[in-house]
């Protein structure tokens, strides 16, 4: 059994799913988080070890990471947790993985690439539904069209979000959409709209600030990248909120109020909803002469996150790693996602 993976954020919705997956796979990870009472109850139920510590206490973090080879961070919003966990990993020599989809977190960890290489540490954010399938799809399209200059990724994943995901969305509401233009990250006040056939006819889409705006660039070098999601009415309303209103939402009192309201929502989708759910991703890469398209169908996002994040952590713990900043496709290849049950890739213009 694998004993040297520490799962931080094991008391959250996704963290508990990963812990259950670890138990099923026989991976004896150590569960970690801030709340000892909750943590102990989860660990006892799954017969796993646990460690409680607060990320604000650097000495406790350093002590908790002794003997750990890989930390899988599942505690969002990652704007608050990625840096202290990564600091601890770089100091202890443990490898850092997380399940973020936050562009600024990806970019902040990419900026520590040289530091990580000196420490012999892997920094691999985004090993969940954000961004394993989309990152592998982007790398596959780059393989098909090596001189691609533009990449658009389309996502249809439903609206069953956990509390942690909703709180992350609240933090980013003031940013509007984001994209890559000539290799640079840019903000787009009023997001663009479009359409995509996810396999059931054309559906409206809207541009969003998705993690691949960061990771797909680092994975492929394609300089112009956009991400769209299927435009259900609540998402349209959020994306088209006027800039002044979004700026008010960004103020601390509004953030606290909105996040407190989230705590009254269900923790996340039920097991039955996750079993029924599916994710569909479509990627389009082009240059001046050619366009290539492919589609991925995957299990529901939280289900896939539990599988991919644990698998990535186990691979790294077994020595399948490269020091420095990595994306899933850089670490494991464009076809990595195809190794998971229920994933199908279709070439739409082979």
DSSP letter string over 43-77? HHHHT--EEE--TT-HHHHHHHTTT-SEEEE--S-
Could you tell me the sign of the dihedral formed by the alpha carbons of 336, 167, 212, 134, in that order? Answer: positive
Strand partners, 188: 177
The pLDDT tens digits along the chain (350 residues) read 445 899 999 999 999 999 999 999 988 899 999 999 999 999 999 999 999 999 999 999 999 999 999 999 999 889 999 999 999 999 999 999 999 999 999 999 999 999 999 999 999 999 999 999 999 999 999 999 999 999 999 999 865 655 565 555 555 555 668 999 999 999 987 888 899 999 989 999 988 889 999 999 999 999 999 999 888 655 555 555 666 565 665 667 766 766 666 566 666 678 888 888 899 999 999 999 999 999 999 999 999 999 999 999 999 999 999 999 999 999 999 999 999 999 999 999 85
pLDDT in tens, 200-221: 899 999 888 899 999 999 999 9
CA dist 342 and 350 (Å) reads 22
DSSP code for 29: P
188: CATH:
3.30.360.10
84: CATH:
3.40.50.720
Q: Are residues 13 and 60 in the same domain?
A: yes
Q: Are residues 94 and 186 in the same domain?
A: no
State how far Cα 139 lies from the chain centre: 16
Task: Please give the tally of structural domains in the chain.
Answer: 2
Q: Are residues 255 and 147 in the same domain?
A: yes
CB atoms within 10 A of CB 162: 22
CA dist 302 and 168 (Å) reads 15
Do the beta carbons of residue 155 and residue 137 sit within 8 Å? no
Q: Are residues 111 and 158 in the same domain?
A: no
Strand partners, 5: 70
- Residue 342's Cβ-side half-sphere holds a number of Cα atoms within 13 Å equal to 16
The whole domain housing 192 covers 132-301+339-347
pLDDT in tens, 246-267: 566 566 776 676 666 656 666 6
DSSP code for 339: G
CB atoms within 10 A of CB 291: 14
Q: Are residues 181 and 296 in the same domain?
A: yes
Q: Are residues 53 and 115 in the same domain?
A: yes
Q: Are residues 296 and 310 in the same domain?
A: no
Q: Are residues 206 and 294 in the same domain?
A: yes
CB atoms within 10 A of CB 223: 15
Q: Are residues 94 and 214 in the same domain?
A: no
Helix (H, G, I), strand (E, B) or coil at 18: helix
pLDDT in tens, 63-101: 999 999 999 999 988 999 999 999 999 999 999 999 999
């Amino acid at each position: 059994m694998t004993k040297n993976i520490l799962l931080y954020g094991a008391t959250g919705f996704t963290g508990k799913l990963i812990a259950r997956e670890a138990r099923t796979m026989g991976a004896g990870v150590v569960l970690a988080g801030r709340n000892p009472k909750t943590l102990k109850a989860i660990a006892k139920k799954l017969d796993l070890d646990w460690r409680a510590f607060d990320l604000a206490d650097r000495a406790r973090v350093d002590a908790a990471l002794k003997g750990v080879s890989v930390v899988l961070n599942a505690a969002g919003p990652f704007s608050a947790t990625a840096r202290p966990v990564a600091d601890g990993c770089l100091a202890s020599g443990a490898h850092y993985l997380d399940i973020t989809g936050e562009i600024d977190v990806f970019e902040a960890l990419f900026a520590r690439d040289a530091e990580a290489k000196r420490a012999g540490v892997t920094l691999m954010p985004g090993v969940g539904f954000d961004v394993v399938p989309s990152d592998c799809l982007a790398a596959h399209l780059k393989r098909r069209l090596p001189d691609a200059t533009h990449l658009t990724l389309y996502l249809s994943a439903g609206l069953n979000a956990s509390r942690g995901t909703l709180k992350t969305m609240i933090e980013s509401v003031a940013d509007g959409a984001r994209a890559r233009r000539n290799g640079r990250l840019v903000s787009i006040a009023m997001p663009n709209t479009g359409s995509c056939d996810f396999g059931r006819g054309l559906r409206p889409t809207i541009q969003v600030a998705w993690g691949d705006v960061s990771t797909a660039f680092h994975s492929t070098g394609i300089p112009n990248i956009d991400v769209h999601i299927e435009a259900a009415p609540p998402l349209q309303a959020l994306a088209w909120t006027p800039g002044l209103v979004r700026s008010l939402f960004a103020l601390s009192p509004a953030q606290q109020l909105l996040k407190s309201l989230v705590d009254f929502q269900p923790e996340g989708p039920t097991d039955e909803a996750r079993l029924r759910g599916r994710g569909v991703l479509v990627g389009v890469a082009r240059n001046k002469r050619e366009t290539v398209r492919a589609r991925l169908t995957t299990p529901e996002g939280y289900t896939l996150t539990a599988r991919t994040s644990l698998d990535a952590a186990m691979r790294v713990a077994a020595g399948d790693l490269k020091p420095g900043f990595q994306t899933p496709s850089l670490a494991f290849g464009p076809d990595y996602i195809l190794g998971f049950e229920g994933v199908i890739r279709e070439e739409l213009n082979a």
